């Protein structure tokens, strides 16, 4: 496994002691991989302007930036003619696509989505959380059948709340049967599983570098060129134009058309280095270790009275390294503060930018969340997570419950 920066970080806990930080908040932002940091450090001495300069350093920086595009293309198994557009993050990527949809496009989206995939659409049909994966396919089928004109199905590959994997191949099939396209929000999938856009027959995927061990502010939208080539330039300015006179002639190629201004070249280099590092590590080893740790975490939490894991499709449904849970008698914020302040454990609490979904998951068991305070604790793991971190979390929650 590649090393992560900060693995030896020590943090203060109650009483002033220092303990090793147990970072269990990878789903929010994953730590930086050592090879990512090395790639950025290696690029810095020649860091210069991109796409503009004749100087050697400019040419080198431009070549590295464009190489990053190729790396990302290969990482997601994109078709040779797919566009690869660097953005700020997943939210930026979904908003970019939203601006490029043909006039009158209807988007079909589940209420289980992260806000980045739920909110950018001008005209959308919202579907209730499906009771089982086949129901997701059936509901999308019915919704798409009732829509005329251009349509787009938007779905997250792995939930940022429950970690559960969605049936994206079946959903792509249904979308295409109705002449629709599909956008997959892969923000929580790509750090954990291999994605092959071509094999899955996806039209677009979006993800963020900072969740993929590349905390340098870049994301990406990959997919079919035509809508992106026809869409209004996302940002208007230098780089997006061929010439400016009485008329402005915009680039037709989606990459320059939507990447006006100086791009985040170090972010792109970092993102590509993370893709390379994950590929070099090998998915089999990554998945095996993650599944071992997440199984240990889930069974540990399940053994504590009053702890309830949030799940849409049940205990046995496949998932990535994300577990959200509640602790009876404590608010999620109280749990997260105790974990941090007394045990040096970092988790997330709240509704994880997926308000309708978390409300749905909590509402069923907790009699609703009318007071607006209902929320959950989320623990998430990845490269660099250890058995000690997982065990520390389980024992900390057990101690809290037994107080």
How far apart are alpha carbons 51 and 40 in whole angstroms? Answer: 19
- Could you list the active site residues? 353
Region from 86-94, 99-107, 172-180, 235-243 binding ligand PLP, contact rule CB under 6 A = 86-94
DSSP collapsed to 3 states, 59-121: HHHHHHHHHHHHHHHHHCCCCCCCEEEEECCHHHHHHHHHHHCCCCCEEEEECCCCHHHHCCC
What is the nearest approach in angstroms of ligand PLP to the Cβ of residue 114? 4
Please state the separation of Cα 346 from the chain's center in Å.
Answer: 19
Question: Of the candidates 114, 258, 298, 389, which one interacts with ligand PLP according to CB under 6 A?
Answer: 114
**Near ligand PLP by CB under 6 A: residue from 23, 37, 89, 162:** 89
Residue whose CB is less far from ligand PLP, 192 or 210: 210
- Which residues, numbered 219-278, are part of the site for ligand PLP (CB under 6 A)? 219
CB of 90 to ligand PLP, least distance (A): 4
Contacting range for ligand PLP; rule: CB under 6 A; set: 103-111, 113-121, 138-146, 293-301: 113-121
Residues 6+ apart with CB under 8 A from 288: none
Residue closer to ligand PLP, measured from CB, 256 or 267: 267
189: which DSSP letter? T
CA distances from 143 to 107, 116, 130, 134, 290 (A): 10, 21, 13, 14, 36
The count of chain residues that interact with ligand PLP, using the rule CB under 6 A, is 15
- Count of C-beta atoms within a 10 Å radius of residue 386: 15
Question: Can you tell me which of 90, 107, 264, 326 binds ligand PLP, judged by CB under 6 A?
Answer: 90
Two tokens, residue 206: 């979006």
Strands (E), 245-300: 248-250
The answer for residues whose C-beta is within 8 angstroms of residue 307's C-beta and 6 or more apart is: 301, 325, 326, 327, 328, 397, 401
71 binds ligand PLP (CB under 6 A): no
- Asked if 261 contacts 239 with a C-beta cutoff of 8 angstroms, the reply is yes
Which of the residues 119 through 158 are near ligand PLP (CB under 6 A)?
Answer: 156
Shortest gap between Cβ of 211 and ligand PLP (angstroms)?
6
Minimum CB separation from ligand PLP for residue 271, in Å?
A: 12
- Per-residue x/- mask for ligand PLP, residues 160 to 199, rule CB under 6 A? x------------------------x-xx-----------
- Closer CB to ligand PLP, residue 69 or residue 114? 114
Which region, judged by CB under 6 A, interacts with ligand PLP, from 35-43, 109-117, 273-281, 370-378?
Answer: 109-117
- Collapse the DSSP code of 323 into the 3-class scheme (helix H, G, I; strand E, B; otherwise coil) and give the result: strand
* Residues between 347 and 376 that touch ligand PLP (CB under 6 A): 353
Name the nearest CA neighbour of 91 among 253, 261, 267, 209.
209
Nearest to 7 by CA among 25, 20, 26, 17: 20
Among 23, 37, 71, 91, binds ligand PLP (CB under 6 A): 91
Positions in the binding site for ligand PLP (CB under 6 A): 89-91, 114, 116-117, 156, 160, 185, 187-188, 208, 210, 219, 353
């Amino acid at each position: 496994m590649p090393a992560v920066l900060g693995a030896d970080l020590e943090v203060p806990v109650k009483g002033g002691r220092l303990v090793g930080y147990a970072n269990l908040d990878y789903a929010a932002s994953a730590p930086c991989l050592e090879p990512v940091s090395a790639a950025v450090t290696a690029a810095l001495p020649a860091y210069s302007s991109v796409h503009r300069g004749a100087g050697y350093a400019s040419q080198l920086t431009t070549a590295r930036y464009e190489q990053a595009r190729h790396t990302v293309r290969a990482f997601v198994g994109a078709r040779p003619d797919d566009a690869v557009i660097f953005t700020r993050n997943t939210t930026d990527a979904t908003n970019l696509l939203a601006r490029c949809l043909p006039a009158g496009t209807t988007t079909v989206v589940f209420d289980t989505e992260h806000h980045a995939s739920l909110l950018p659409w001008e005209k959308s049909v919202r579907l209730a959380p499906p009771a089982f994966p086949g129901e997701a396919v059936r509901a999308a089928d019915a919704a798409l059948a009732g829509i005329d004109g251009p349509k787009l199905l938007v779905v997250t590959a792995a939930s940022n709340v429950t970690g559960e994997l969605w049936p994206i191949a079946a959903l792509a099939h249904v979308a295409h049967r109705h002449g629709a396209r599909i956008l997959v929000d892969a923000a929580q999938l790509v750090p954990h599983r291999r994605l092959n856009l071509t094999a899955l027959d996806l039209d677009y995927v979006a993800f963020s570098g900072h969740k993929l061990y590349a905390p340098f502010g870049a994301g990406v939208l990959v997919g079919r060129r035509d809508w992106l080539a026809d869409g209004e330039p996302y940002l208007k300015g230098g780089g997006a134009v061929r010439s400016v006179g009485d008329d402005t002639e915009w680039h037709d190629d989606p990459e320059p058309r939507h990447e006006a201004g100086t791009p985040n070249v170090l972010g792109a280099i970092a993102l590509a280095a993370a893709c390379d590092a994950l590929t070099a590590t090998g998915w089999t080893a990554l998945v095996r270790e993650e599944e071992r740790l997440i199984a240990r975490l889930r069974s540990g939490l399940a053994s504590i009275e009053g702890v309830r894991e949030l799940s849409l499709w049940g205990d046995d449904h496949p998932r990535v390294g994300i577990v959200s849970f509640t602790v009876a008698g404590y608010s999620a914020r109280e749990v997260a503060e105790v974990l941090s302040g007394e045990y040096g454990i970092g988790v997330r609490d709240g509704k994880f930018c997926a308000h309708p979904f978390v409300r749905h998951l909590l509402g069923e068991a907790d009699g609703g969340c009318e007071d607006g305070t209902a929320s959950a604790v989320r623990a998430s793991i990845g490269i660099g997570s250890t058995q000690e971190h997982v065990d520390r979390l389980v024992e900390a929650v057990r101690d809290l419950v037994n107080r």
